[in-house]
Copies of this chain bind each other. A is one copy, B any other.
Amino acid sequence: MTATDQQRADLLALRGALGSFATGVTIVTTRVEDADVGLTANSFSSVSLDPPMLLWSLAKTSSSHEAFMAAGHFAVHVLSVDQEHLSRRFASKDVDRFAGLPLERGPGDVPLLTGCAARFSCRSAFHYEGGDHTIFVGEIVGFDHTPTPPLVFHAGKYALAAPRAEPLGAADPARVPPTGFAEDLLGYLMGRAHHQLYDRMRSELAELGLGEREHFTLSVLGISDRRTLDEINAFTAYTGVTLTREAAADLESRGLVRCEPAEGGPRLSLTDAGQQALLRLVAAAKAIEVDALADLSEEEGRLLRHLLKRVIRTTDPGIPDLWASRQERS
């Protein structure tokens, strides 16, 4: 390693260490000589309550450094979890960062962005020396704030602040039986959550005179039709439910699917009545989902889906991709 390589490695290590401190993400804006200036910064810190003050810092080499040194006012916007695109835009070179954005105006005619978790209008109070950066301290002269979840930056990646996973009525050792089958067992939680959701679907199915097997069959054909019995079962075998020849004949006699003779065995498709039944079941599933997620924020709901998808990917025994097969055939 040359001295320069070593320095570069040290710098990378330092960046990594500093990046282990999670932060929110802000956009700082000002207006100087009739021009709006703004940039993404995560070096924000609150300083004082009386008088109310905050700080952020900016590289002396930044093209906006001069503007902020000259500015009498600036504004700090704490970004919400839905504003990652703004964070990226205000960190990009060679784009008109304010183009098309709805703007309000704060003290000093400073541009104020909308939809943020919080906004602070500041009077420039101090500029402090900070190595290759200048530390800007502002006195807060106005602010507003919404309870939107914030965007988080950690270890070079965007993230979100999730609640800590407190045990919910578990963890009491008196409640753990000798087999160790505690309420925290993932298989139990997954099974219980699934069956509680599916219990409502079963009522819906019962009204249509259908069972789980028929539900899975209609669902597969609704995504990708003209399927043989074996193909349908390849998609659903992992559920332990199998579509038999008799059950298929029953679905046909009830007018929900039609069978076309083909090489390799008859191929099943949905009839219009089958399509209608499936539409009703999907609508029911969506209503069940809305109710099931009523206690979670939108972001928590997204997070639950994300974690389930990762478990599905990890435990996938090699089930064919049903949706991809749709694309191939369409």
Q: Closest approach, in angstroms, between the C-beta of A303 and any C-beta of chain B?
A: 5
Interface size class of A (residues with CB under 8 A): 35 or more
Interface residues of A in 285-327 (CB under 8 A from B): 285-286, 288-289, 291-296, 299-317, 323-324, 326-327
Q: Does A232 contact B (CB under 8 A)?
A: no
Q: Is the CB of A16 within 8 A of B145?
A: yes
Give the shortest distance, in Å, between A24 (CB) and chain B (any CB).
4
Q: Which of A29-37, A123-131, A247-255, A258-266 contacts B (4 or more CB under 8 A)?
A: A123-131
Q: Is the CB of B78 within 8 A of A118?
A: no
**Given A191-B197, A196-B316: 8 more A-B contacts, CB < 8 Å:** A131-B139, A179-B278, A181-B219, A185-B286, A186-B288, A189-B312, A212-B240, A291-B314
- In order of increasing CB-CB distance, the 8 nearest A-B pairs are A48-B131, A165-B306, A194-B194, A17-B145, A162-B162, A165-B302, A21-B24, A20-B118
A residues within 8 Å of B by Cβ? 11, 13-18, 20-24, 26, 43-57, 78, 84, 117-118, 120, 126, 128-133, 135, 137, 139-140, 143-145, 147-148, 150, 152, 154-155, 157-166, 168-170, 174-175, 177-181, 183-202, 212, 219, 222-224, 238-240, 275, 278-279, 282, 285-286, 288-289, 291-296, 299-317, 323-324, 326-327
